[in-house]
Amino acid sequence: MEDVMQKSIKASNITFKYDEATIINNITFQIEKNSFITIIGPNGSGKSTLLKLLASNLKPQGGTIVLNDISLTQYSTKGLAMEMAVVPQDTAISYDFNVMDIVLMGRNPHIKRFSKETHHDLEKVKDAMVATNTWHLRDRSINEISGGERQRAIIAKAIAQESKVILLDEPTSSLDIHHQLEVLELLKSINKKQGVTIIAVLHDINLAARYSEEIILLHKGCLVTMGKTEEVLTVEALKKAYAMEMIIDRNPYTGSIQINPISLIKKSNQPQNKRIHLVCGGGTGKGLIQSLVEGGYVVTIGVVNRGDGDWEMASIYKLQMAEELPFSEIGEGTIEKAHRLADAADIIIMTDLPIGWGNLKNLDILYKQLKKGKKVYAFNNKNKFDYTGGKALKKLQLLKESGLIFIEDKEHMLHVLEASV
């Protein structure tokens, strides 16, 4: 019993259909009080429909939704409005009210029948309008302000309503980046300071990652996963929902996880099984790997250390690799594998990677292929190259004498490859 009381919302096996099409398919989840949760998923996955079900604007054909231990079906309109405010996706309003009148409507559940708003109601309205930066718009017609201003006004109405749950459908969709952050910061602050549960549909995964503590991930009306943001936003889960490869790292400024989608669409009229072996490491080859794979080349990698940026990118594309344990010196078996991969390649490229004692043997791969008469390219080093006290530089000199071709950067390399096809 105690457990149930803690839950703000409990949805059990909810199913919703439009005609014969199942839009929400047997979804079960619980949302704790004071949560900041976002619903994400690709277009048409059922996010808005789920929000409308939670708002009781739609009724599920199967399953139940319980708010604070009471089924949604038991609430009167006013009773539900005391508990829950809704900011819909479409904020267009057909009547020509001024902005303050609209925000004041948020106080309706609190105003007794046939009574007028009190000073307290007006104070609440003003507070909400100041917080959403709409107070200066109070006398303007709701239909004569911008879409972004209207969105903020509707959020002000929801805040003025003083309910313990606010549902929002894409609250930042028509806002510029400044107002997006302002609105999400505001929602975060009322979530933290006033304990208001925020449930928002967001299509921007990075904003969801930055602001929400928990995420519901939908795909074709089914729940892919739900849980703490960092646990839900995994490459696997996102791949399943969005049918795209993504790289996940951390935003160095905000510390929140950051999703970088990678397109896998291969161009058709492209190079035809030409094999390229890439000697890279430490993330110096990430961009090139992506461009080469998307360009239709068969790319092999190595030796790289497991877990580094290039290894991660190559793993996403499932490339053949000669890989070594993290921070380990290249072993005999691994270098042999790298030689075999390079033997099978038409072209060898070395990125702008630093060479230390651990990966010095990688230079031997280049030397062997030069001796075989293959084209071997190396990026002109912009960073420090030699961490072996001169040994790597000596080997580089030998490579130069053996015909190593230097290129400037990734774009230059792609240009050279294109010209040589």
Ligand X SMILES: Nc1ncnc2c1ncn2[C@@H]1O[C@H](COP(=O)(O)OP(=O)(O)OP(=O)(O)O)[C@@H](O)[C@H]1O
Nearer to ligand X, 204 or 409 (CB): 204
Minimal distance, residue 74 CB to ligand X, in Å? 25
Among 38, 49, 161, 334, indicate the residue that binds ligand X (CB under 6 A). 49
Nearer to ligand X, 18 or 114 (CB): 18
Among 48, 91, 191, 229, indicate the residue that binds ligand X (CB under 6 A). 48
Nearer to ligand X, 54 or 125 (CB): 54
Tokens describing residue 401: 């004498």
Minimal distance, residue 171 CB to ligand X, in Å? 13
417: left (phi over 0), alpha (psi -120 to 50) or beta: alpha
Site string for ligand X, 178-217 (x = CB under 6 A): -------------------------x--------------
Site string for ligand X, 6-45 (x = CB under 6 A): ------------x----x-----------------x-xxx
Nearer to ligand X, 216 or 280 (CB): 216
Site string for ligand X, 251-290 (x = CB under 6 A): ----------------------------------------
Backbone dihedral angles phi then psi of residue 77, each to the nearest 5 degrees:
-60, -45
- Do you find a cis peptide bond into 125, omega within 30 degrees of 0? no
Task: Report long-range pairs for 367-374 (Cβ below 8 Å, ≥24 apart).
Answer: 367/395, 367/398, 367/399, 367/402, 368/339, 368/342, 369/277, 369/342, 369/343, 369/345, 370/399, 370/402, 370/403, 370/404, 371/402, 372/343, 374/345, 374/346, 374/347, 374/348
* CA max distance for the chain: 94
Backbone dihedral angles phi then psi of residue 161, each to the nearest 5 degrees:
-65, -20
Whole-Å CA distances, 105 to 71, 76, 160, 290, 384? 25, 17, 9, 53, 65
The β-bridge relationship of strands 70-71 and 62-67 is: antiparallel
Minimal distance, residue 22 CB to ligand X, in Å? 9
Minimal distance, residue 19 CB to ligand X, in Å? 7
If one asks whether residue 47 binds ligand X (CB under 6 A), the answer comes out as: yes
Minimal distance, residue 352 CB to ligand X, in Å? 40
What are the residues binding ligand X (CB under 6 A)? Answer: 18, 23, 41, 43-49, 203
